[in-house]
């Protein structure tokens, strides 16, 4: 089945220790998104790639970086996680354009100790 | 500043009755609206959408109504079934300009036996 896969599902890191979250897709979609969702909050878009074009949201902290080495994979790097970065991180893909539905992975829950 | 608001964090409805989930928005440039459904430990999945040129869209048991003058939309589920218990996210986009969608905080729907 075509899908969006996120690894790991649960990630524990220490305050200030860099961490990388992974997303892969078998849908061959052009666009990949990273969202942060804190408890009882709306998923908040951090950035997205349209093919290789990187689009950063204005309020995404510099602490968050992303890489998309090819169509299938996209990574979220948190350079120095703080306690406030503990959240669910959702990856999504689409064929492009907001009229097309986004397909979400199951998310990675990040805990910062 | 929330552009998409779901003011009811939770809603309980008896099985077989109608569930009505509400959503308000502030950005008059939004022209496309979506509902996503999320089960625990899974990513959100697309449910139904509506373009601003319509005031109603129906798909089986699910109907979305849009009132542009009031900047309000609602999702009706009838009849409600146990499998409908989930978190429902309202989302909106300026589809003609952007690849992004803005989510609300979600409403947790409980279907009671």
Residue by residue, what is the 3-state secondary structure of chain A?
Answer: CCCEEEECCEEEECCCCCEEEEEEECCCCCEEEEEEECCCCCCEEEEEEECCEEEECCCCCCCEEEECCCCCEEEEEECCCCHHHCEEEEEEEECCCCCCCCEECCCEEEEEC
Q: Cα distance from A103 to chain B (closest Cα, Å)?
A: 7
Q: pLDDT band at A30, cuts 50/70/90?
A: very high
How confident is the model over A59-80, as a mean pLDDT?
96
pLDDT confidence of B89, banded at 50, 70, 90? Answer: very high
- Cβ distance A40 to B95 less than 8 Å, yes or no, reads no
Beta-bridge mates of residue A49: A32, A54
Average pLDDT score over residue span A62-85: 96
Chain A residues with a Cβ under 8 Å from any Cβ in chain B: 4, 31, 35, 40-45, 48, 50, 55, 90, 92, 94, 96-99, 101-107
Within 8 A of B51 by CB-CB distance, chain A residues are: 99
Paired tokens of B64: 């979305």
pLDDT reading at A45 higher than 90: yes
Q: Find chain B residues with C-beta within 8 A of A31's C-beta.
A: 99
pLDDT band at B2 (very low <50, low <70, confident <90, very high): confident
Average pLDDT rounded to a whole number, residues A34-55: 93
Residue range B11-26: mean pLDDT, rounded? 98
Mean pLDDT across chain B: 94
pLDDT of residue A2: 64
CA nearest neighbour of A34 among A8, A60, A14, A2: A60
pLDDT of residue B94: 87
Here the tokens at position A21 are: 């979250």
For the residues A12-38, what does the mean pLDDT come to? 96
Integer Cα distance of A74 and A47 in angstroms: 11
- Burial of residue A60 (CB within 10 Å: 0-12, 13-18, 19+) is middle
């Amino acid at each position: 089945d075509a899908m969006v896969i996120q690894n790991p599902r649960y990630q524990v890191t220490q305050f200030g220790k860099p961490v990388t979250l992974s997303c892969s897709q078998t849908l061959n979609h052009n666009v990949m998104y990273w969202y942060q969702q804190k408890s009882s909050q709306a998923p908040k878009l951090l950035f997205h790639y349209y093919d290789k074009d990187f689009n950063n949201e204005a309020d995404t902290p510099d602490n968050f970086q992303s890489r998309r080495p090819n169509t299938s994979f996209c990574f979220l790097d948190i350079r120095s996680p703080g306690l406030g970065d503990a959240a669910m991180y959702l990856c999504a893909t689409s064929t492009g354009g907001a009229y097309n539905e986004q397909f979400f992975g199951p998310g990675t829950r990040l805990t910062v100790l | 500043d929330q552009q998409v608001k779901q003011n009811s964090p939770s809603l309980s409805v008896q099985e077989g009755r109608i569930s009505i989930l509400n959503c308000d928005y502030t950005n008059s440039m939004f022209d496309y609206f979506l509902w996503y459904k999320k089960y625990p430990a899974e990513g959100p999945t697309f449910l139904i959408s509506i373009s601003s040129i319509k005031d109603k869209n129906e798909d089986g048991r699910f109907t979305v109504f849009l009132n542009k003058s009031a900047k309000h939309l609602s999702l009706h589920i009838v009849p409600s079934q146990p499998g409908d218990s989930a978190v429902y996210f309202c989302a909106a986009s300026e589809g003609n300009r952007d690849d992004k969608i803005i989510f609300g905080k979600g409403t947790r729907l409980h279907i009671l036996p």
